Structure 1
């Protein structure tokens, strides 16, 4: 048995998942669908994907019309990260479900009814696999100019689609191979100033996951070792720098979905502690002479290049900017979806304060401090205020409750392209949180 064989046997055969892991999956499904609904109404970046996808088919584009399964996954995938409001796995860090959920929604509406129990099982397996793959790296993928969230998320989405298609272990291996043939995630997505691809990036792996599973059901044969082979996933993207131990250790007994974090603010997870500290300080912006924001290995991308981060040109760039998000928190006293609209990006008060925000290097903050944050605020009267926080709100150690997530879902659903009334949104949220009892999960999401 190869590593690919072991993983594919697990994807196809895992069962008896305990209730805590299943409940964690229902929570991230609720959160993910809510964020996608909001993006269907708020994300201009996703409109081209919707226009291309809409047509005849059995699958729903959230907030819009119908489409064939691969195109529904494409459009819904474009919604997944468009608002940067979805769940995260802080330890790596990754977004394990942002392409898997759109792929899953397409698969459960494409053919015969799929039970809620089977949907939750598939998503639990896929999320866990993404986190395990992330832990397996012994050198960062960024060193080879790749963009990790898309790469690992694509494998997880492919696993979910394969499981929902009812593929056996051999055909699941074919599906992973077919995904590998479609997979790309250039690191330039982080560096280009004008692109919006960072916002809609999950459209591509979501669609590819559905295509891979459907082709595998038709008997298209893949590779014997799509993951660890001489030209497989780890060789191509990681240069062979990985350890299979973290993938296999406890696989099927311990589920990483229970360790996810949920976002109270719609921005990169690395900005959240600094946002919280800025809100906690509750200062008058006119009293602020300068702000230093602490940055470690991971946070550097949120302040570099500094001039761009102080005056971001696009909403997704603003969400990956410590100067902008901290300034928005201090000026507006909140950080909501409204703080990233076109008028906010040009707000003179936010931009003036963002220009005063500079990085303060913390060389002791490695990749294990990806969500740590700290501020050193110098006031015009000469006083200096310092604050640090090493675990962002929404982490399992500082969790959002089910009621918090239902409230977030309800607020997001009200911003859908086809807004849901509060009672309807609340009813749908409760259906998702009890989805294991549903015989036809696809019908639940025809909203």
Structure 2
């Protein structure tokens, strides 16, 4: 017997019944910005992230129905395998959008999963793709915001685990699942979506980079099985052995899941990254570069670099030896010493700063050895404190200069303009495995900007 008043059912009903017309125009526009940004970053990864190649090869080797395109290859594979291959690209450069309040990348698995389904099971109107991205992002962020304990305290790595449910919501919407079928799909996702926090402590691991391959594939698989009639659980989220009981020991705020549901959309709070590194590094990158510019500092005069911030960001500074000399690009992107040293040396941080050659740059590594991080016990490990930080430079001869930044660039409080996002998209496209010509890039930008008028959203992924 099902519970008509369950939280799981309320969320499923919301995803299934929300009309495109009920979504505010600025929220629809934000979904299109997320699609533009996510696709650009994924295309750049086809050329820059060799770690994704095994995922692409594996997807192609499996054969099967030619349903959905693997980005930048021209090859079509079954939808779940295309989501798998393209999902690996989504976070590989750590340059995709982020939801700062929930510490998630909610759209990383959702966009590749949604596009794969649009192409395989269409035609799907562009309006429906927009709605699916909005609703999927909302589900993922609400699940994370409802938590009252950090999941990593219990050994989990939450971003791909939680985002899997948002991706499932989006795919379920596109496949026109009914309320019960979507609950079943959430249940099937619960049985598959997991990720160990051990990836934070293994410097040579590739999993942190390609993690979103798995939730993207899971979302498509779960929704398709539910559509075929596989039954799940009545309460996959709030049940006595549901998501919150399993992963958070029951520590969650149920009201967060439904408060202003359909009135407030968390995608409106998305941030777009100016730097291709962990969001927790951004205020330090910006502050370090600004101090050098404002005070015309010679790098040889820097004796030490002292960073202060939240306890959560200790993961970006420890183990010290690993973070001062990161072995892989993804580890460097999660390193405060390396990213801050790069900002001091180059004035910014770009995709070019994570090549093998850049990782061995002696001038950057020398600066990184002088970077030290201190967790301020007065700062919380959640909320705005996580993304606030200060940089203090001790200079030869004794003077110190210091700068604190409270809100990182690209956030809703300091938003990226459309022109900046288009420039980022063009730059990412130039780095694709097969560089598209300028007219093709212009067509992609135009197609996404007018997505609501397109009858078949699958055309977008077929053209990539």
Deviation at 1:288, TM superposition (A): 0.8
1:116 aligned residue:
126
CA distance in 2, matches of 1:435, 1:141: 37
1:155 aligned residue:
165
CA distance in 2, matches of 1:332, 1:253: 44
Deviation at 1:404, TM superposition (A): 0.9
CA distance in 1, matches of 2:388, 2:421: 23
1:74 aligned residue:
84
Corresponding residue SS for 1:23: helix
After superposition, the C-alpha distances for 1:123-152 in whole angstroms (9 at most, x for unaligned) are 100101111111101111111111110111
2:101 aligned residue:
91
Indicate which of 162, 176, 180 corresponds to 1:170: 180
Corresponding residue SS for 2:393: strand
Indicate which of 19, 24, 30 corresponds to 2:30: 24
2:444 aligned residue:
428
Indicate which of 190, 212, 230 corresponds to 2:200: 190
CA gap 1:361/1:233 in 2 versus in 1, 3 angstroms:
closer
Deviation at 1:414, TM superposition (A): 1.2
2:391 aligned residue:
375
Q: Which runs of 4+ in 1 moved over 6 A?
A: none
Residue 6 of structure 2 corresponds to residue 2 of structure 1: yes
Residue 141 of structure 2 corresponds to residue 141 of structure 1: no
1:332 aligned residue:
346
Deviation at 1:205, TM superposition (A): 0.5
Residue 13 of structure 2 corresponds to residue 13 of structure 1: no
CA distance in 1, matches of 2:443, 2:301: 46
2:282 aligned residue:
272
Deviation at 1:295, TM superposition (A): 2.4
Q: Contact 1:29 / 1:432 at 8 angstroms: preserved in 2?
A: yes
Indicate which of 203, 209, 230 corresponds to 2:219: 209
Deviation at 1:411, TM superposition (A): 0.7
Residue 449 of structure 2 corresponds to residue 439 of structure 1: no
Corresponding residue SS for 2:311: coil
After superposition, the C-alpha distances for 1:175-232 in whole angstroms (9 at most, x for unaligned) are 1111111111111121112101000000000000000111111111111111111211
Q: Contact 1:148 / 1:185 at 8 angstroms: preserved in 2?
A: yes
- TM-score normalised by the chain length of structure 2: 0.95
After superposition, the C-alpha distances for 1:20-72 in whole angstroms (9 at most, x for unaligned) are 11111111111111100100111011000000012451211111122110110
CA distance in 2, matches of 1:158, 1:190: 26
Q: Contact 1:93 / 1:370 at 8 angstroms: preserved in 2?
A: no
**Residue correspondences, number:** 447
Corresponding residue SS for 2:326: coil
CA distance in 1, matches of 2:15, 2:375: 42
Q: Contact 1:284 / 1:330 at 8 angstroms: preserved in 2?
A: no
Q: Which runs of 5+ in 2 are unaligned?
A: none
- TM-score normalised by the chain length of structure 1: 0.98
Indicate which of 366, 378, 381 corresponds to 1:364: 378
2:302 aligned residue:
288
Residue 72 of structure 2 corresponds to residue 58 of structure 1: no
CA distance in 2, matches of 1:284, 1:314: 28
Residue 428 of structure 2 corresponds to residue 412 of structure 1: yes
Deviation at 1:301, TM superposition (A): 1.0
Q: Contact 1:406 / 1:426 at 8 angstroms: preserved in 2?
A: no
CA distance in 2, matches of 1:444, 1:92: 29
CA distance in 2, matches of 1:146, 1:360: 24
2:41 aligned residue:
35
Residue 266 of structure 2 corresponds to residue 252 of structure 1: no
CA distance in 1, matches of 2:179, 2:276: 38
